Amino acid sequence: MNGVVPFDGPASDFDGRLRREAMTWLTVRTNDGLDAISREELADFTIDGAPFKLVDRTRGIRKPKELTAALSITTTYGPTGAARPYEDSVGTDGLLRYKWSGTDPDHMDNRGLRAAMTTRVPLIWFYGVGTGLFLPVYPVYPVYVVAEEADTHQFVVATDAAAELYRPDSPAEAHLRRYFLAETKRRLHQPVFRATVMRAYGTRCAVCALGHGQLLDAAHIVPDSQDSGIASVTNGLAMCKIHHAAYDAHILGITPDEVVEIRSDLLEEIDGPMLEHGLKERHGQRLMVLPARRGEMPDRDLLAISYQAFRNAG
């Protein structure tokens, strides 16, 4: 299990203990940040034997009355193509932006995030990956408020390593930008992509319906682009590790009509039960699991690109 990274900003004993206990609890409950957690499950958290809310049901910024600084921030889930109430995004510098609550700089929630920036305490970022379903970014990587952009009503948020390197006036700005972009993708985008794909496919392999989450990956239909957007579920497929490896190696292909094909030379090969039952028997069969929501179905244009690469490799 990943350890909780300590913070060195001033905070009360209760503040520090609350953050550490909440983050440790979330690490365990989400399988080291691998799995999402529901709003109902979040209600199970307690400290000193009493329930304590980690998220606010109606507000994106959770600033408990017991603390001087905010405890968590939430990005709500919106179905593919739907607008979110606040468009949290990634800036050109590779760092995350989190919108103010409203436009009043003195709103209590905004003051709470400003206090978190001043005291350098870590926040839990709950990223919505389904209705009432969240991926806590923190359990693996803490996030910090490192700056405020008042003219656009937003705060600048960084994961722990990026926060340590954040220097707005650094002459190494271009190099740092590339680093921040890579870190943001690795630490936020990939876990969010996985959690969203797993939710859409019911944590089952699209090819064989295997349902053990620890044996599943969120596979990109085509390689993820280098832009700063969160990867879309329509460019994803839940796959067991064997089928994911076969897909990436162009041993297994999927037609735009969602039919599995196995490379022709493998169909002639005899090499034990895994090849026979795990791969060859899937040839010509439709995908066994697909998302229930039409807007989350695999993009046929992307499937066509991947399928052509599979054909070319054969």
Which of 3-17, 85-99, 167-181, 271-285: highest mean pLDDT?
271-285
Q: Tell which wins on pLDDT, 187 or 259.
A: 259
Residue 188 falls inside a structural domain: no
**Is 205 found in the same domain as 154?**
no
**Is 77 found in the same domain as 123?**
yes
Q: Residue 179 in contact with residue 94, Cβ under 8 Å?
A: yes
**Is 221 found in the same domain as 164?**
no
Rounded Cα distance, 21 and 168, in Å: 32
Q: Residue 2 corresponds to which tokens in the numbers above?
A: 């990943």
Among residues 119, 152, 172, the one where a domain terminates is 172
Report the pLDDT value the prediction gives residue 92, as an integer from 0 to 100: 75
Q: Please give the single-letter amino acid code of residue 59.
A: R
**Is 283 found in the same domain as 222?**
yes
What number of H helices and E strands is found in the chain? 10, 15
Share of the chain above pLDDT 90, in %: 59
Q: Residue 255 in contact with residue 247, Cβ under 8 Å?
A: no
Q: Residue 177 in contact with residue 92, Cβ under 8 Å?
A: yes
Among residues 131, 153, 172, the one where a domain terminates is 172
Among residues 172, 188, 221, the one where a domain terminates is 172
Residues 6+ apart with CB under 8 A from 91: 97, 156, 228
**Is 208 found in the same domain as 154?**
no
Neighbours of 241 (CB within 10 A): 14
**Is 96 found in the same domain as 19?**
yes
Residue 221 falls inside a structural domain: yes
Q: Please give the single-letter amino acid code of residue 176.
A: L
Report the pLDDT value the prediction gives residue 103, as an integer from 0 to 100: 93
Residues 6+ apart with CB under 8 A from 129: 36, 77, 135, 192, 195, 196, 199
Rounded Cα distance, 91 and 229, in Å: 10
Instruction: Give the bridge partners for 220, in sequence order.
Output: 236
Q: Tell which wins on pLDDT, 160 or 73.
A: 73
**Is 152 found in the same domain as 240?**
no
Residue 182 falls inside a structural domain: no
Residue 192 falls inside a structural domain: no
- Segment (H or E) for 195: helix 190-200
Rounded Cα distance, 41 and 55, in Å: 11
Domain count, the chain: 2
**Is 151 found in the same domain as 232?**
no
**Picking from 81-85, 203-207, 267-271, which range would have the lowest pLDDT averaged per residue?**
81-85
Rounded Cα distance, 223 and 120, in Å: 36
Tell me the CB-side half-sphere exposure of residue 14, using CA atoms within 13 A.
9
Residue 209 falls inside a structural domain: yes
Rounded average pLDDT over 166-173: 65
Report the pLDDT value the prediction gives residue 11, as an integer from 0 to 100: 54
Neighbours of 223 (CB within 10 A): 10
> What digits encode the pLDDT tens for the residues 29-67?
998 888 999 999 999 999 999 999 999 988 899 999 999
Q: Residue 20 corresponds to which tokens in the numbers above?
A: 């550490």
Rounded Cα distance, 70 and 120, in Å: 11
**Is 239 found in the same domain as 151?**
no
Report the pLDDT value the prediction gives residue 190, as an integer from 0 to 100: 83
Report the pLDDT value the prediction gives residue 88, as an integer from 0 to 100: 64
Report the pLDDT value the prediction gives residue 228, as an integer from 0 to 100: 38
**Is 267 found in the same domain as 307?**
yes
Per the document, the length of the chain is 314
Which of 73-82, 135-144, 151-160, 225-234: highest mean pLDDT?
151-160
Kind of pairing, strands 72-75 and 124-130?
Answer: parallel
Residue 195 falls inside a structural domain: no
Report the pLDDT value the prediction gives residue 199, as an integer from 0 to 100: 94
Instruction: Give the bridge partners for 219, in sequence order.
Output: 237
- Average pLDDT in the chain: 85
**Is 216 found in the same domain as 133?**
no
Q: Tell which wins on pLDDT, 240 or 89.
A: 240
- Segment (H or E) for 115: helix 108-119
Rounded Cα distance, 90 and 85, in Å: 16
Residues 6+ apart with CB under 8 A from 257: 300
Residue 237 falls inside a structural domain: yes
CATH code, domain carrying 126? 2.30.280
Domain membership of residue 46 as a residue range: 13-172
**Is 228 found in the same domain as 103?**
no
Confidence class for position 254, pLDDT limits 50, 70, 90: very high
* Residue corresponding to tokens 């709470």: 112
Rounded Cα distance, 113 and 149, in Å: 12
